[in-house]
Structure 1
């Protein structure tokens, strides 16, 4: 009897856990090595668009995620004075690309993903380094403090500053600063109801989205030099920049504790990788294609990666061909989304008064001509469907139900 092939995933974030689940479900023995002592994601929310939900449907987790998340109904884009520029609705989203956005805390998603793995698959507090990427007739080697591990497949899911990526592609320049900083926090929802929104101002953005557990996820961005920090604390910085914007923004800032605010410079892989694999190693998530948050697709694309990798890297198959197919499937899509997100970032962080007025007028005009006109630009991202049907009990919804089950047809990857 052939020994079950072994995959080692370096990194226990969203992309690494998704890849591990997919590989486990398809027949691999899986070990996830996470450097941190526990899986405690940053205190922030994540929006899952229909494309990521369909990928989770493959793993039998889509319905569970939707049950834990808040559904994005009415919403849209506002100006700092509160004027609505764009209105969106769940009904229009469903009509345009077969589903709607759901929002949940990152910790909730990570806990759910981790629970779908075998009990012995996840090892926290375990630093890991790629010692040898392996080759067709040589297993890869991962070095840990407890000794070396040989693996038939290694998945580099170690984030934007990926050491695995640097080992595979040492000439790649790595991440570049996108020109703006982001703040994020989660607090109890205010007593007064509000409509989910993203607000575009001069050189910055604010977003407010409810979570199903009675909390609110808020985020903000602003054009600033790289490496900066507030002279006092980040709450004071947010008040200086956003206290005169529309409700509920001032109240949310007033309610948050300074130490609960996360601040990070936004970086991304402006130079795409030529491949997402080398030897017996594949990259997923930010390690492969870190992007700005302007389209909300970073975590979504990491989830897609994990499911597509599991589809192509079938145990017992030609791994080299499978990894090449994975790169071929993912690079065009993620490269385009990285570029679109970077372009969107430049639009949302304009500082010229005339250009801001033109931007807002164009958005408002497009919205008046019909919500589908606004949503159509996102459709080629959100209407993606995975290349395989669900492994486990799960119900595909929307476009996934229409395409994944079509006789004699594999869902198209866009």
Structure 2
């Protein structure tokens, strides 16, 4: 019996995870990646327990750094709230984790057969009938997974009214290597959030989010950040100085909730379906959830039924998480009114750590469906 064939457009976290899941349940899979090689920007990613469970169900082994404690502080380093790692595990089921994006990409890539990945392939169009048009010809598949990012050409083709919008802030990001790894922390000030997230091997992922108009650039990101935040609490200045490359980009999200994540034989997945701002740290996590759910349905149903089940299951949840992320941004890094910022700090200081560690548990307690591994069949 011939195996069914899926074409996955995009070799990022969501696309690779989808390919792994489909391969695991018996599909023949080909990943089409535009870049000539798989790379990842110099940044980290937080992996909430829901994402870690998804990776485990996919059979992906990644070296994740569990976070052992920390807190929320003001710009001087004064504690606003404590973050209790043991209480977090009781509420969420697993520790909060973190990993370098490049290492996560490599772990995902290693879980796929080498012949499944085709790089340097430019996809120009995808048809609901199962046809993918590339720069060098056409391919046909039983299923097309569009994991081609926030500016997804396939989504634009299927839903031309969908709009990507500015989320209200810009982010600077980097990874530094420090001999004494600091603990997890988030620093709040008016219109600013600075996050510190320890990674394995003495690496530290950090970011600065600023509420400001879109499109503002700087000749020297390091000089700008050093001037503005160099006198804030340590190790902020040390991290800025120790980072080889500091990235900056405007934060965007998909402002138009899609009426469906599927069309014919095409499934939208990850940012192409529900790009969200990073204020809950769930963008990549939700893509990993998508991958497991799609694979679970595809492993036991016809393509039509599988895509219907995937859309029914994933669209309400991811659109709800997107809205929650927007609300988190409005009350967090995008909050600029001085009186509101002072009120937020006062209120936060009153919260017991048991309460603060439960934040996000309604999302992160998600359990993946079980995948039944099937040996790949030949055509």
Residue in 2 that maps onto 1:199: 187
Distance, in Å, in 1 between the alignment partners of 2:142 and 2:194 is 45
Is the 8 Å Cα contact of residues 58 and 391 (structure 1) preserved in structure 2? no
> 1:216 offset after TM fit, Å?
1.2
Residue in 1 that maps onto 2:165: 176
1:92 to 87, 94, 99: 87
Residue in 2 that maps onto 1:236: 223
Distance, in Å, in 2 between the alignment partners of 1:95 and 1:314 is 33
Residue in 1 that maps onto 2:147: 157
Residue in 1 that maps onto 2:205: 217
- Tell me if 1:46 matches 2:35: no
Residue in 1 that maps onto 2:25: 26
1:378 to 352, 360, 369: 360
Is the 8 Å Cα contact of residues 180 and 202 (structure 2) preserved in structure 1? no
Is the 8 Å Cα contact of residues 59 and 391 (structure 1) preserved in structure 2? no
Q: Please give the secondary structure, in 2, of the residue aligned with 1:334.
A: helix
1:143 to 133, 136, 139: 133
Q: Please give the secondary structure, in 2, of the residue aligned with 1:388.
A: coil
Structure 1 residues 18 and 193, CA, compared in 2 at 3 Å: closer, same or farther? closer
Task: Specify every segment of 5 or more residues in structure 1 that has no aligned partner in the other structure, as ranges.
Answer: 135-139, 393-414
Is the 8 Å Cα contact of residues 58 and 307 (structure 1) preserved in structure 2? yes
1:254 to 241, 265, 286: 241
> 1:192 offset after TM fit, Å?
4.5
> 1:193 offset after TM fit, Å?
4.6
1:355 to 340, 355, 369: 340
Task: Specify every segment of 5 or more residues in structure 2 that has no aligned partner in the other structure, as ranges.
Answer: 375-379
Aligned CA-pair RMSD = 1.4
TM-score scaled by length of structure 1: 0.87
Higher relative contact order (CA 8 A, sep 6+): 2
Structure 1 residues 98 and 131, CA, compared in 2 at 3 Å: closer, same or farther? closer
* Structure 1 segment 241-390 matched on structure 2, within 5 A: 241-257=228-244, 260-314=245-299, 317-348=301-332, 349-367=334-352, 371-389=353-371
> 1:202 offset after TM fit, Å?
1.2
Q: Please give the secondary structure, in 2, of the residue aligned with 1:377.
A: coil
> 1:240 offset after TM fit, Å?
2.8
